[in-house]
C-alpha cells in the first residue's frame, strides 16, 4: 500500500550521504516522515512496533534527488506534462523534489500563480514540487517581476526559463534587487543573436549535416557578462545549464574571486555529445545544444572538482508533433526526470566520478542553493530517501516511461542501475518490482 | 525502342539520399550508365521502357524549374508515369505536416519519389516513411547528389578523368548543398578540392572536409583545372553575409581577368540559375571555357542513370 505511513527500516544498506561525506554500511530508520536514525544494527536495538523492515541487501540508500530544472507543462501545456505525470516520472527516477520552471502559459510571474502551483502540486503530485518564478514580467526581459512577493509566496529562485535577459541594464537591476531579498537568480546563458538560426553545436559535424551552428561563444559571452554584473552587485547567481570548456574557465575565475556563483550541467551534456545526433535525430536536439566530446569530458572533470555544483535533468517533454520534423524545425528538449539517475550512473560505472560527488550534485547542493530541507540523511531531516540498485542492467523502453511525452535520448539505451524504492516524507511513493 | 544500355549497373541500395557513403565503384557505375544515356538522348528516338509501369512522383517543397523538369524528363524517357507536386503552395499552408504528406503520397504507391525540401535531413526523414525508392533532389544545406554526379560526368567527359584534377569551388559554400555533395564526390574520386569564399560564407570546420581553403580568387584559382561557381542568394548579399553585390563581384565574381589566374585550359561550371554580374560575368558564362549548358544536358542523363540503377533494385512483384 503506497500511502502506508508505518515506520520503515532500511536494513543492511550501503548508505551514501553526501551531506556528511559518508559512504558505508548502515541501517536507516524512518518514522513520522522523518529520518530517525542511521546507525548500524538498529534492528537489534529495537524498532517501533509495526515497522516495515526492508532488507536492502547492500543496495544503496541515499537522499532523494532534488532536480533543479524540470519543465512541467502546468499551467497551459497539460498535454505535455502535469504535476501528476511529472511526479510519477520523478518518483520512478528517484527524484523526490522537482523544481519547476516559470516559462509556462501563463508565465509564473504573479504570487497567485505560485500559490496555484503549490496547491496543484499538493493535490496531484506524489513528490515535492517547488516553483521557480520569473525574473522579469512575462519573461519579457524588460521589467522586474515581483521578486519579494513571489519569494514570500514560495518561489525558490528566479529565472526567465530558457530565455536569456539580453539587456545588461535590466539584468544588473534584477541582480541588485534580488540581493535585497537574498533571492537566487538562475540564468540561461545564451546570447540569442549569436544563436541566430543555429540548431546544434557549431563545427564540422553541423557543417556536414548542413545545419546552422550555435557557437560556444554564445554561451560564454553571456556567462562572462553575467559574472561581471555579479561582481558589481554582489548577488547570488546560478548558471542554469553550462555546456562547454570555455564556460568553465569563466566560472572558475568568478569562483576564485569569491563571488557567490554556482552552475549546473544537465545530465544530457554529461553523458551525450553532438555526434549522438547521428542522422538528424531530433530527440538529441536540446537547448543549449549538445557539444563536442572534449566539452563533455571537461564538464565531468569540473563536476568531480566541484566547479560544477549541480546536475539536473533539464526535463522538457515534447510530443511527437513537434519532434517528428526536420531537425531545424523540431522543438528542442528531452525528458529526463526518470532517466537522470540511471544515465548519470554511467559516469560511476565508467569510473569518472564517485557516488558521493555525483549524488551531492543531484541532492545536497541543489537543496542548499534553494534553501530546501532535503538532500541529507541526517537524523531529524525529512525522510526523502531512495533505495538504488546500482548494478541492475536494463534496456530503456520509452513506452514504460511515466512521462506524458516519450522524447528521451536514451530510447533503447542500455543502462545500469535504477531507483528501486522512492520515499517522500516517510511514505513509499514508488517501488520497482 | 532503343537497345538496352550495355551497363547492367545496379545501385544496391533503396534510396539515393546523398553522395556521402557512395563508394568509388558506385559513383563510377552511375557515371558509366549516364554516359550511355547521353548517347541515347542525342538520338531521335530517346525513349526506353525500363521504367514502364512505374510511377515517379516529383515532390518539391521548394520551387525549382530546372531540377524538377530534368527529373521529369528523365522519368518520362525511361517510360515511367511522372507526376509533379509542388507542395510549398498548397498542403503545407493548410498545416499538413511533412509526415502526413509522406503517408498520403505513399498510399498512391509510387515506385520512385524525388524530393526537394528546404530543411537539411527532411528527405531522409521522409524516406523512413515510404515504401518506394527516394532520390534526394536537394535538402537544405545538406546534399544534392544528382548535381554532384552531373558535375562529375561533365568534368569526366571534358577532361577524360577526375583523379588528380584541381577543382576550385567558389562562392557561398556555407549555404550550399551543391558544394557539400561535390566536395564529398570529388574527394572520393581523388580530385584536389579548393574552396574560395569570404570567411562569412564558409562553414566553421570546413578545413576538416579535406579541402584547401582560400579567401581570394588569385590564390584560390591558381592551377585550377575546373572552376565551379556557386549561386549567391539575393537575401545574403545586402549586408548580412557580404556588404553589397558590388563588393562581392569585385572580389569574388568570375570575370575574364580572374579566370586568367586558373590554368589556361580551365573549364567553368555553374549549377544554375546564374546571377549574371553577381557571381559570374556574362562573357565567362557564355564564353569558350564554359560548360554550363553542357551541365544541363548531363543532368538529364545522370538522373536517368540514377532512376534506372535504383529501379533495377526495386522488387518486381
Interval A255-284: pLDDT, tens:
999 999 999 999 999 999 999 999 999 999
With an 8 Å Cβ cutoff, is B203 touching chain A?
yes
In three-state secondary structure terms, B143 is strand
Q: In this complex, do B203 and A327 lie within 8 Å of one another by their Cβ atoms?
A: no
Nearest CB among A205, A215, A325 relative to B98 is that of A325
Question: Looking at residues A2-9, what average pLDDT do you find?
Answer: 78
Question: Looking at residues A51-61, what average pLDDT do you find?
Answer: 96
Q: Chain B: nearest CA to A205, how far in angstroms? A: 8
More confident residue, B237 or A107: A107
For residues A220 and A246, what is the distance between their CA atoms, to the nearest angstrom? 7
A361 forms beta bridges with none
Q: Chain B: nearest CA to A367, how far in angstroms? A: 41
- Backbone phi, then psi, for A18, in 5-degree steps? -65, -25
Percentage of residues of chain B with pLDDT beyond 90: 85
Task: Tell me which chain B residues have a C-beta less than 8 angstroms from the C-beta of A204.
Answer: 204-205, 208-209
ipTM above 0.85, yes or no: yes
Question: Looking at residues A14-35, what average pLDDT do you find?
Answer: 97
- B112-117 and A414-424: which strand pairing? unpaired
Question: Active-site residue A314, yes or no?
Answer: yes
Q: What are the cell numbers at A385? A: 530517501
Q: Chain A: nearest CA to B209, how far in angstroms? A: 8
pLDDT in tens, B238-294: 778 999 999 999 999 999 999 999 999 999 999 999 999 999 999 999 999 999 999
**pLDDT for B99:** 85
Neighbours of A321 (CB within 10 A): 12
Q: What are the cell numbers at B138? A: 536537394
Q: In this complex, do B140 and A328 lie within 8 Å of one another by their Cβ atoms?
A: yes
Task: Tell me which chain A residues have a C-beta less than 8 angstroms from the C-beta of B122.
Answer: 326
Nearest CB among B117, B143, B205 relative to A326 is that of B117
- Comparing alpha-carbon positions, the chain A residue that sits nearest to B205 is A204
- CA quadruple A412, A418, A420, A423: dihedral sign: negative
**pLDDT for A2:** 47
Amino acid at each position: 500500500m503506497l500511502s502506508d505511513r508505518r515506520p520503515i527500516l532500511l536494513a543492511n544498506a550501503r548508505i551514501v550521504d553526501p551531506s556528511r561525506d559518508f559512504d558505508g554500511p548502515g541501517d536507516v530508520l524512518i518514522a513520522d516522515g522523518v529520518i530517525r536514525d542511521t546507525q548500524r544494527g538498529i534492528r537489534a536495538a529495537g524498532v517501533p512496533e509495526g515497522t516495515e523492515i526492508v532488507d536492502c541487501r547492500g543496495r544503496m540508500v541515499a537522499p532523494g534527488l532534488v532536480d533543479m530544472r524540470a519543465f512541467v507543462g502546468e499551467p497551459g501545456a497539460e498535454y505535455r506534462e502535469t504535476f501528476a505525470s511529472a511526479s510519477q516520472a520523478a518518483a520512478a527516477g528517484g527524484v523526490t523534489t522537482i523544481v519547476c520552471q516559470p516559462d509556462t502559459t501563463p508565465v509564473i510571474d504573479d504570487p497567485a500563480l505560485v500559490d496555484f502551483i503549490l496547491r496543484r502540486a499538493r493535490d496531484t503530485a506524489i513528490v515535492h514540487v517547488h516553483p521557480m518564478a520569473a525574473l522579469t514580467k512575462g519573461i519579457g526581459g524588460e521589467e522586474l517581476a515581483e521578486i519579494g512577493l513571489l519569494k514570500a509566496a514560495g518561489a525558490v529562485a528566479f529565472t526567465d526559463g530558457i530565455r536569456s535577459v539580453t539587456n545588461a541594464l535590466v539584468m544588473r537591476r534584477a541582480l541588485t534587487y534580488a540581493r535585497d531579498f537574498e533571492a537566487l537568480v538562475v540564468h540561461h546563458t545564451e546570447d540569442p543573436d549569436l544563436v541566430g538560426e543555429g540548431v546544434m553545436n557549431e563545427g564540422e559535424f553541423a557543417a556536414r549535416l548542413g545545419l546552422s551552428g550555435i557557437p560556444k561563444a554564445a554561451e560564454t559571452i553571456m556567462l562572462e557578462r553575467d559574472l561581471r554584473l555579479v561582481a558589481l552587485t554582489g548577488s547570488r547567481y546560478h548558471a542554469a545549464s553550462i555546456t562547454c570548456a570555455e564556460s568553465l574557465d569563466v566560472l572558475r575565475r568568478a569562483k576564485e574571486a569569491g563571488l557567490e556563483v554556482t552552475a549546473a550541467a544537465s545530465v544530457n551534456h554529461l553523458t551525450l555529445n553532438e555526434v549522438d545526433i547521428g542522422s538528424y535525430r531530433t530527440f538529441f536536439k536540446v537547448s543549449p545544444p549538445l557539444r563536442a566530446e572534449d566539452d563533455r569530458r571537461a564538464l565531468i572533470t569540473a563536476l568531480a572538482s566541484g566547479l560544477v555544483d549541480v546536475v539536473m535533468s533539464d526535463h522538457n517533454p515534447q510530443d511527437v508533433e513537434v519532434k517528428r520534423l526536420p531537425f531545424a524545425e523540431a522543438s528542442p528538449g528531452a525528458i529526463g526526470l526518470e532517466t537522470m539517475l540511471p544515465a548519470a550512473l554511467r559516469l560511476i560505472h565508467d569510473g569518472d566520478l564517485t557516488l558521493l560527488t555525483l549524488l551531492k550534485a543531484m541532492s545536497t547542493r541543489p537543496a542548499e542553493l534553494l534553501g530546501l530541507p532535503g538532500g541529507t540523511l541526517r537524523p531529524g531531516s525529512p525522510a526523502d530517501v531512495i533505495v538504488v540498485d546500482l548494478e541492475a542492467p536494463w534496456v530503456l523502453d520509452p513506452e514504460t516511461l511515466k512521462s506524458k511525452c516519450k522524447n528521451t535520448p536514451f530510447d533503447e539505451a542500455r543502462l545500469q542501475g535504477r531507483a528501486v524504492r522512492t520515499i517522500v516524507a516517510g511514505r513509499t511513493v514508488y517501488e520497482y518490482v | 525502342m532503343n537497345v538496352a544500355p550495355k551497363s547492367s549497373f545496379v545501385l544496391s541500395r533503396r534510396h539515393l539520399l546523398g553522395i556521402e557513403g557512395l563508394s568509388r565503384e558506385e559513383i563510377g557505375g552511375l557515371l558509366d550508365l549516364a554516359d550511355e544515356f547521353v548517347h541515347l538522348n542525342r538520338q531521335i528516338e530517346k525513349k526506353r521502357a525500363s521504367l514502364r509501369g512505374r510511377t515517379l512522383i516529383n515532390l518539391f517543397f521548394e520551387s525549382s524549374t530546372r531540377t524538377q523538369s530534368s527529373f521529369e524528363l528523365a522519368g518520362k524517357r525511361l517510360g515511367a508515369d511522372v507526376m509533379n507536386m509542388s507542395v510549398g503552395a498548397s498542403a503545407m499552408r493548410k498545416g499538413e505536416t511533412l509526415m502526413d504528406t509522406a503517408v498520403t503520397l505513399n498510399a498512391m504507391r509510387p515506385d520512385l519519389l524525388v524530393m526537394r525540401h528546404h530543411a537539411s535531413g527532411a528527405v531522409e526523414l521522409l524516406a523512413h516513411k515510404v515504401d518506394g525508392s527516394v532520390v534526394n533532389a536537394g535538402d537544405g544545406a545538406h546534399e544534392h547528389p544528382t548535381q554532384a554526379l552531373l558535375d562529375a560526368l561533365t568534368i569526366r567527359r571534358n577532361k577524360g578523368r577526375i583523379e588528380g584534377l584541381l577543382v576550385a569551388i567558389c562562392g557561398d559554400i556555407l549555404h550550399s548543398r551543391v558544394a557539400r555533395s561535390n566536395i564529398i564526390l570529388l574527394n572520393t574520386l581523388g580530385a584536389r578540392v579548393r574552396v574560395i569564399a569570404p570567411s562569412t560564407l564558409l562553414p566553421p570546420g570546413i578545413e576538416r572536409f579535406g579541402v584547401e581553403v582560400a579567401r581570394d580568387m588569385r590564390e584560390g584559382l591558381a592551377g585550377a583545372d575546373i572552376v565551379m561557381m556557386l549561386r549567391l542568394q539575393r537575401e545574403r548579399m545586402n549586408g548580412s553575409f557580404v556588404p553589397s553585390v558590388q563588393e562581392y563581384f569585385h572580389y569574388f565574381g568570375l570575370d575574364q581577368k580572374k579566370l586568367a589566374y586558373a590554368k589556361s585550359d580551365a573549364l567553368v561550371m555553374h549549377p544554375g540559375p546564374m546571377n549574371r554580374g553577381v557571381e559570374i560575368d556574362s562573357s565567362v558564362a557564355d564564353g569558350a571555357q564554359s560548360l554550363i549548358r553542357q551541365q544541363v544536358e548531363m543532368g538529364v542523363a545522370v538522373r536517368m542513370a540514377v532512376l534506372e540503377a535504383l529501379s533495377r533494385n526495386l522488387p518486381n512483384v
